[in-house]
Amino acid sequence: MENIIKSSRANKKNMISFNTNLFETNIINLIFVIVVLVYLGGDLLKDSLTTRKEKILEKLNALENRQLQSLQELENATKQVEKIGDQIIIGHINNFQDIWAQNKNLKELASQKIRQYRESKATRLMMEQKKGFRTLLRRCKDKAVESAIQLSKSKMKTYPIQHAEIRKMTVLWEKQTSS
């Protein structure tokens, strides 16, 4: 029998074969080991999965909180942008009103300057007219005096007694008109 066992062992060493004998393979032992692993390892696996599930849920909650916080920040930023936009529009309106007021002031100032120019022009024209009138009046006086002097000279020849007095008046008049 030893020869048979040796030969079967020698044959087994040379070739690999599948053992279909359930008792030799110890399938019951394998099942028992698997059941014990599942029973004892199941709690460990269950705890591990529970811990992992809790961590995942915590991360999801944190992400949801961050998302809500981000949405709130976005809403606040949107409100600030709208407020700044409103302030910019109000600033443009105020600038437009300032420009409008400056334009109105410039128009009033221009109208005032035009009125002053017209008044000064009219005043200058009146002054020129008065000056011209004075010049004309002086020329007329001079002409009248000259005519009177000529007349008096012609009459002096006819009235020698009054000659000295007329001569004095003529000299005085000539002095006044020359200065």
- For 14-28, the DSSP string reads HS------HHHHTHH
Radius of gyration of the chain (CA): 67
Task: Give residue-wise pLDDT tens across range 52-63.
Answer: 999 999 999 999
User: Tokens 């992400």 sit at which residue?
Assistant: 63
State the first-to-last Cα distance of the chain, in angstroms, to the nearest integer. Answer: 179
Do 149 and 177 touch, CB atoms closer than 8 A? no
pLDDT of residue 1: 47
Residue 122: how many CB atoms within 10 A of its CB?
10
pLDDT in tens, 76-86: 989 988 888 88
Query: What gap in Å lies between CA 51 and CA 19, rounded to an integer?
Result: 43
Distance of CA 42 to the CA centre of its chain: 69
Answering whether pTM is above 0.75, one says no
Q: Are 156 and 166 in contact (CB under 8 A)?
A: yes
Regions of the chain with pLDDT less than 70: 1-25, 27-28, 153, 155-167, 177-179
